[in-house]
Amino acid sequence: MKSIRTRFLLPLAAVSLAVLTAACATPNASVPPPELSCLRVGFAPNYPPVCMNDAEGNPSGIEADFAAALADELGCPMEIVTMEFKELFPALMDGRVDIVMAGLTVTPSRAYKVRFCSPYLNNPLVAVARVGWARTYPSSSHVLAASAFIGVLPHTTAETFVRRHCPRARVVPVFNFEDVPKDIASHRYVIYVDDQAAVLDLAESHADVLEIIPYPLQQQEMAWAVHPDNAALLSAANAALSKWKANGKLDAVLDRWLPGRFR
């Protein structure tokens, strides 16, 4: 599958994720699961291995596994509604889907529009370089101080971060995620910065070319989103996450798809 990653994000405001998460926590853990005839899940297959299509065109990845598990917890059928990433929030707000499970990064601007469930994954920004070059950057501060060409996807948290925190870098826009191995091999840029989930998959798929610089640059959290008025589904989803954290199911799914993730 040819992946198109267009996860547009607004710049991060000066609000801590800890405060943001507290504001979006379960309103009442005793609220029973909602009565659903079918759990409709908003899904954008543009972010392997988090959300993608398999060789047969079926939804696959971390979010597809969690969607099936959540429907099982709620005791109802599940329908994955595939759409472009930019359509996910409109579909949630007008009732076409009940929950968005599509590799969403928690940001203050998004929290004004939707209710985030408890984060299920620490997904920091990470840098990747050409094989053998990672040792040039023995810490995250060396990446931040690098006088180098750094590639980023436009309009993402990675671009915002690099422009704010890498003053000596020359930012290079990357319009096709699949070009990163070729670009680094041809020295179009020296470092590429993106979410951990994307970078791990990329480096594993191109281990002959790419190497991860193993120092997180900025912490980010990934979570599902529900309509602001859907407190019952928010509570039920958070209860499921709490149960999976306790019984190991959460880590089992994440380790299946992201075995080298930062803990």
Domain CATH code at residue 177:
3.40.190.10
Q: Do 129 and 212 reside in the same domain of the chain? A: yes
Q: What is the pLDDT of residue 29?
A: 40
Is residue 11, in this structure, part of any structural domain at all?
A: no
Q: Do 253 and 205 reside in the same domain of the chain? A: no
Is residue 3, in this structure, part of any structural domain at all?
A: no
Task: Summarize pLDDT for 92-145 with one digit per residue, the tens.
Answer: 999 999 999 999 999 888 999 999 999 999 999 999 999 999 999 999 999 999
Q: Do 100 and 172 reside in the same domain of the chain? A: no
Q: Which of 37, 17, 33 is nearest to 25 (CA)?
A: 17
Q: Going along the chain, which residue ranges are E strands?
A: 39-43, 52-53, 59-60, 78-82, 99-105, 115-116, 121-122, 125-130, 149-152, 170-173, 191-195, 210-218, 221-226
**What is the span of the domain harbouring residue 178?**
125-218
Torsion of CA 59, 66, 201, 107, to 10 degrees: 110
Is residue 5, in this structure, part of any structural domain at all?
A: no
d(CA 69, CA 142): 41
Which residue is associated with the tokens 């590429």? 192
Provide the domain count of the chain: 2
The mean pLDDT of 228-247, rounded to a whole number, is 96
Q: What is the pLDDT of residue 152?
A: 97
d(CA 33, CA 30): 9
Answer yes or no: is pLDDT of 14 > 70. no
Q: Which residue has the higher pLDDT, 229 or 18?
A: 229
Q: Are 237 and 66 in contact (CB under 8 A)?
A: no
Is residue 262, in this structure, part of any structural domain at all?
A: no
Torsion of CA 176, 161, 42, 84, to 10 degrees: -30
Q: Do 134 and 81 reside in the same domain of the chain? A: no
For residue 9, what are the contacts with CB-CB under 8 A and spacing of at least 6?
A: 105, 107, 155, 156, 157, 160
Is residue 4, in this structure, part of any structural domain at all?
A: no
Q: Do 41 and 132 reside in the same domain of the chain? A: no
Name the average pLDDT for the chain: 87
Q: Do 92 and 108 reside in the same domain of the chain? A: yes
Is residue 182, in this structure, part of any structural domain at all?
A: yes
Helix (H, G, I), strand (E, B) or coil at 125: strand
Task: Summarize pLDDT for 33-79 with one digit per residue, the tens.
Answer: 677 889 999 999 988 899 999 999 999 999 999 999 999 999 999 99
Q: Are 231 and 27 in contact (CB under 8 A)?
A: yes
Task: Summarize pLDDT for 157-211 with one digit per residue, the tens.
Answer: 899 999 999 999 999 999 988 999 999 999 999 999 999 998 988 898 999 999 9
Is residue 2, in this structure, part of any structural domain at all?
A: no
Q: Do 135 and 59 reside in the same domain of the chain? A: no
Q: How many CA atoms lie within 13 A of 52 on its CB side?
A: 18
Is residue 1, in this structure, part of any structural domain at all?
A: no
Q: Do 111 and 44 reside in the same domain of the chain? A: yes
